[in-house]
Every structure is written in structure tokens, then in C-alpha cells.
Amino acid sequence: GGSLFLSLAAIETDPDIQESWQRTLARLDCDLSFKDYSELVVRVHNLFFRGWENVDSLDKFQRQLEIVLDSLGGHFLLSRFPLEAKALDIVSKIKDDFASLSFSRARFSLSQIWNIFKQELDSARISFSGSPLEGTQVLGLLETRSLQFKNVLVLDANEGVLPKLKSAEPLIPSEVMMSLGLGRIQKEEEVQHYNFRRLIEGAESAYLIWAKNPAQEKSRFIESIIWEREKKANKSNFDRALKIAFSFSFPRPAKAVKKLPEVIQYLRGCAYSASRLNAYLECPLRFYYKYVLGLNEREGAREGVKEAQIGDFIHRLLFEAYGGFLGREPVFDSKFKKYFKELFNSQYQKEIEPRMRSGHFLLKGIIQARLMKFLEEEERRKPDILRIEALEKKYIDFFDLGRLKIKFKYVVDRIDSCRGSRLMIIDYKTGGRDNTIGRLSGLENMKLSRWQIKEKIKSFQLPLYCYFIRERFKDKDVGAYVYNLRTAEIRPFLLEEGQKQKEKVLDCCLKALKFILNELLDPDVPFEAEKGSRSCSYCPYYNACS
């Protein structure tokens, strides 16, 4: 309509914006209704815009900041990006500092509060950790004092970075400092220059690296070295720096790995699981590295707690908490909730807290809040539950390929016996991956190829559970459900209604399973890297695929 700006309400309700959003999601193969879109946008606006409108003190600021940190802390993907997680820890520390100030309730304008917060962020630092006795060390200039290295690389040796000087003193004007004979900036430059020269002159080899462009110049420290060499050689233009340009490209996948007779023999005799088949669906070469060669990621290679470790912790907690209900009807009264909270606190303190650094309380609060929501949903479902049949139950079954029976090992999180002779296979999910299967029409038109199966079925976990448990309990109506512990929602993995549709959907899944197993055992189909997969960037075998 010619307006330069849009209100938040317009963004939330405008049909043209919603339609554009819908088209974008359709291209990404993501199904989101107008209602879901509106709720999501309102949540974002409340979190990052509306919540800050009435902030007029540092106390209110830190409380709103805590809400944002709680929301961000709930995304376990942060464990894959350690620098971002450390940055949030620093923001959390600033929040705590604001809360402890004696004048935290004093009135300030919003711009003043943001300026204070920005100053705190500007002075914050994220340090790199490492051993001083081996490997490559990433150090600040002052950290190199009294140390000598064989090889030194000075990165980003540009003016403004080396030396790093603050041009103004917040309390005392520079003119006053100069009149008193206190040249703080000059002293600071001398200290940095001394440490710089001592570092490079004490090394066998020193490499000074800087960016060259119209907006940046090399450091004055490097200019002084060039000037000394020009005087010594009695000639100018002594700058003989190498010019290096970097180009970035993704490595090409490794050549396909042929299946040797010994590998085929191993594949025929080994025990499979849903996670193994899912790994093959994602990338056959990754399956080869992990399950055939047995190359596993080194434990402890990354700091902090990973998403999978959080999931394991929650699974163990629920197994222990529900152990007393095995074979009988569960009771979710105040006594059980008190026991559950105490068990959570003790298990978290023993398993998770020792691996966490500052900010672990944030993660603890998020997990505890979600588990309390989970118990509320359990209490709502209680009238339908007759008894809990199994918890973390291990099974071994065989899948008939005709010429060969394939051994499967699997662990079912939980099986509930419900009214109407129904069995509910429940799979707890702590991550964001959705393992539910769509409509029958999409499966019936699915071509039997690994790419189509990965797109349509996503995971063989629940189809396998449903198939094997039905064979064991033939007199029961067996259904498989995903229990999302993030949202406390329980959803059937077969979205079709009606028994006939469920049977057809499961038949499609079993046909796809036979196709994948036959392809896996086919000596003429090599293990080939998945081309252009988004998971390549965090695959532990990434470097082996170049």
C-alpha cells in the first residue's frame, strides 16, 4: 500500500505475507498451516519486540533477557556450535550482574539500558581452551608473555587490531591525562609492541598475516619491521609479502566403495537396528564407515553436553521413575510428582551438571519445565491406560526376505495396554526430528529408491516396532506413537485413520524396507556418499569423503 513500515499486527495477519510464507515453506517441503504460522510469528514478536517495549530498568531488562535465554537454551542444536553456546553463557553472566546491582530498579531510558548492555558485550571475551604443552595454541598477545614457540602465526595483523588501543578514557578526559604526563595510550602501545617483538624474535619462524583491502592497512608494528629492513638494505620497497587468495568449495564425495565378498558375508550375518537402516538411508558411505569399518567418533572430542546425551539422560530418568508402575496402572498423584522432581534433581546433578560449565541452570530449568508438562499430559491420558506392559524392553526378531532372514535388535521405550484391547508402542523423542508418516496417497505413489524412501518414510524405527510387536501380540490392536517431550504432544506415527488405511501404510513401509535391505546386500550396489546432503557439515566422517 505504499507504506514504508509495517506494524507487527499487520505482519501477523496480512494474507499476502502469509501466502508468501506458505509458498516458501512448500518449496522446503514443510507443511505449516496459517494458524501455525500466525502463532509462530506472534511468539517471535512477543519474544524479541513486544517484551522489550516497557523495559525501564536494568531489573526488567534482565528478566526479559532471561526469557529470551530460556527460549534459545531449549534448542539443543546449540550443542553443535560451542562458540554460540559460550556466547549465551556470557550473556547469562551479564544478566546475573544486572540483577545483583543495587540500582537495578532505578529508572533509565531504553536506549540508555541498551547502551549499558552493549558496553558489557563489547568488553566480554570468549577464550579458547587448550593444552600449553602440545598441538596448536590459540593465544592472545598478553598470554604469550615469557613463552617461546617454534612457529608463530600472527593472524589479523591489521591496524586497529594490532595494536588494540582505546582512544578515550571514560572518566578522565585525554587532555587532562596528557597535561599530567600520563600518556596511557602511548604506554599501552609500547607494552603491546614489546610483547609482539619478543614473541616473533623468540620464534624460529614467524608468519605475519593481514588482510589487504582499501578499508584496512597493515599494522604499524609490521611497518616498523619493514622500515628497519629498508634502512639496513639501504633501499625502499622492501615489502616482499606473499599475496594469497583463498577459494572455497565443497569437497567432492569419495569414490564409491565396492562391496567385497567379506563385506557381503558380514552384512548377511550381522544384527540390524532401525538406527543402522536410518544411517544407510541418510548416506550409504557413512553407514560403511560406522557399521562396517567400525570407525566411531572419539568420545570427549567436544566439550559440554550433546543432544544425544540429554536424550539418554531423559530416557534413563523415565525408566527409573516409571519402574514401579510396570505391570500395573500408573498413578500420577502429588506423591509421585514429588518423587519425580527429587529423582530428576539427583540424576541431573550426578549425570549432567559435572559436564556443564556456567549456565547449566538454564538447561536444567528448561528440561524440568518440559518434563512437568509431560506429566500433565500423562495425567490427562491416565483414564485410558490400564497398565504399563514394558519399559526399555529389548527384543530380538527376524525379518523374512525370502532367501534370507535378517536379524533385528531393538529397544522399545514403553508399551501401554489401553482400553479396547489396544497396545500403544510409545517412542520418546527429545530432538526435533518428526518420524510420523504422511498420507497413504504419498506412499502408494512412492518410487522404490533410497532417495524417495528417505523423503517419504524418513525412519524405519516405528514401522519396525509396529510390525514386530503385532507379530507378538496378534490378538491386540497395535499402534505406534511418537511422544514429543519438547512439546508434551503424542502423535500416531501412522496419520491415516481407519484400520484398512493403517494396514496399507504399513505394507508400503515393509515393501520399502525389503527394497533397502536387498540393496544393502546387493554386491553390485556400492557404498556411495550422499551428494549435497545438509548433514555433511556435521558428519564425523566429513574429511574422509574428500
Instruction: State how far the Cα of 196 lies from the Cα of 70, in Å rounded to an integer.
Output: 42
In this prediction, residue 436 carries a pLDDT of: 64
Instruction: State how far the Cα of 526 lies from the Cα of 131, in Å rounded to an integer.
Output: 42
Q: Report the amino acid identity of residue 496.
A: E
**Would strands 385-400 and 405-418 be described as parallel, antiparallel, or unpaired?**
antiparallel
Hunting for cell 609479502 — which residue is that? Answer: 241
Q: Which of 61, 115, 122 is nearest to 90 (CA)?
A: 122
Residues in the chain, pLDDT under 70: 1-4, 73-83, 128-134, 166-178, 180-184, 238-240, 246-255, 298-306, 355-361, 432-442, 494-500, 532-535, 537, 545-546
DSSP secondary structure, 2-65, as one string: --S---HHHHHH-HHHHHHHHHHHHHTT----HHHHHHHHHHHHHHHTGGGTT--SHHHHHHHH
Cβ contact 100:396 at 8 Å: no
Instruction: State how far the Cα of 455 lies from the Cα of 400, in Å rounded to an integer.
Output: 25
In this prediction, residue 292 carries a pLDDT of: 92
In this prediction, residue 299 carries a pLDDT of: 55
Instruction: State how far the Cα of 140 lies from the Cα of 147, in Å rounded to an integer.
Output: 12
In this prediction, residue 75 carries a pLDDT of: 59
**pTM, 2 dp:** 0.53
Instruction: State how far the Cα of 477 lies from the Cα of 499, in Å rounded to an integer.
Output: 9
Cβ contact 126:83 at 8 Å: yes
**Residue 113 DSSP one-character state:** H
In this prediction, residue 532 carries a pLDDT of: 62
In this prediction, residue 503 carries a pLDDT of: 80
Cβ contact 512:261 at 8 Å: no
Question: What residues form DSSP beta bridges with 482?
Answer: 427, 491
In this prediction, residue 303 carries a pLDDT of: 47
DSSP secondary structure, 480-545, as one string: EEEEETTTTEEEESB---SHHHHHHHHHHHHHHHHHHHHHHH-TTS-B-PPTT-GGGGG-TTGGGG
In this prediction, residue 302 carries a pLDDT of: 44
Residues 6+ apart with CB under 8 A from 71: 47
In this prediction, residue 175 carries a pLDDT of: 66
In this prediction, residue 441 carries a pLDDT of: 62
CB crowding 296-332: b at 16 or more within 10 Å, else e: eeeeeeeebbebeebbebbbebbeebbeebeeeebeb
Model confidence over 376-412: pLDDT tens digits?
989 998 889 999 999 999 999 999 988 899 999 999 9
Residue 433: which H helix or E strand, with range? Answer: none
In this prediction, residue 499 carries a pLDDT of: 60
